[in-house]
């Protein structure tokens, strides 16, 4: 049996060049979200990866707060990033003794751009990897897409939230996510689920 008081969050964050205009707000939003979640009771770990046409791990299974720094560059290898991190997070969790595995897993993808440079993972392959983790291991998967980037989450078969690609929009979407994650973690029901609105607006 997994640990019902343990939640793991994996964040896969777009750092392609188009993120330059919202860099400060995205950094602050993610940093605040992480700090708020670590302030709650219960075990919590974070894996954070960022991608452009390359993929890098920033933190893996981190169990203390940290400050996120985003350096926008490059293109958008969305499918490669999501596919690789689904596999790696799955491997990390599988390596734990069952009693030490998180009872709740949330996998979140954040992007403001369209897939344009993946080479290893196709849409079908990535969607199937996600389906297996959702159905067999109970992962919650959420796609945060800026403006017209949101449709890609629907293609992947996951819950999708659209937000406005400006500074206020980034602040709002990470605040909404933090509140939703707090509610998910504090819900004592074994069938609790993570939920965000279809669209996060500002003003």
| Residue whose entry in the numeric block shows the structure tokens 């989450």 | 153
What average pLDDT does the segment 96-109 reach?
A: 98
Q: Is the pLDDT of residue 85 over 80?
A: yes
What average pLDDT does the segment 119-133 reach?
A: 97
What average pLDDT does the segment 46-68 reach?
A: 96
User: What is the full DSSP assignment across the chain?
Assistant: --EEEEEEEEEEEE-SGGGGGGHHHHHHHHHHHHHHHHTSSSEEEEEEEEESSSEEEEEEEE-S---------S---HHHHHHHHHHHHHHHHHTS-GGGSEEEEEEEEEESS-----SS--HHHHHHHHHHHHHHH--EEEEEEEGGGGHHHHHTTSEEEEE-SSHHHHHHHHHHHHHHHHHHHH---TT------SEE---
User: Residue 126: which pLDDT band, with cuts at 50, 70 and 90?
Assistant: very high
Which domains can be identified in the chain, with CATH numbers?
3-200 (3.40.50.410)
Q: Is the pLDDT of residue 184 over 70?
A: yes
User: Residue 113: which pLDDT band, with cuts at 50, 70 and 90?
Assistant: confident
- Whether this prediction's pTM lies above 0.95 is answered by yes
What average pLDDT does the segment 54-77 reach?
A: 95
User: Residue 190: which pLDDT band, with cuts at 50, 70 and 90?
Assistant: confident
What average pLDDT does the segment 129-139 reach?
A: 98
Q: Is the pLDDT of residue 203 over 80?
A: no
């Amino acid at each position: 049996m997994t640990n019902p008081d343990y939640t793991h969050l994996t964040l896969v964050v777009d750092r392609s060049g188009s993120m330059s205009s919202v860099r400060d707000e995205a950094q602050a939003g993610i940093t605040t979200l992480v700090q708020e979640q670590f302030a709650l009771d219960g075990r919590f770990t974070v894996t954070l990866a960022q991608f452009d046409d390359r993929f890098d791990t920033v933190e893996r299974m981190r169990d203390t707060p940290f400050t996120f720094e985003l350096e926008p560059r490059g293109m958008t290898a969305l499918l490669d990033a999501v596919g690789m991190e689904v596999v790696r997070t799955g491997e990390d969790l599988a390596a734990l003794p069952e009693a030490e595995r998180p009872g709740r897993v949330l996998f979140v993808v954040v992007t403001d751009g369209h897939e344009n440079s993946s080479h290893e993972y196709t849409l079908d392959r990535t969607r199937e990897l996600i389906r297996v983790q959702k159905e067999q291991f109970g992962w919650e998967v959420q796609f945060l897409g800026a403006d017209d980037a949101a449709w890609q989450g629907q293609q992947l078969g996951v819950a999708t939230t659209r937000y406005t690609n400006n500074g206020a929009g980034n602040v709002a979407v990470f605040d909404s996510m933090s509140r939703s994650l707090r509610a998910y973690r504090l819900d004592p029901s074994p069938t609790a689920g993570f939920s965000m609105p279809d669209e996060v607006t500002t003003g």
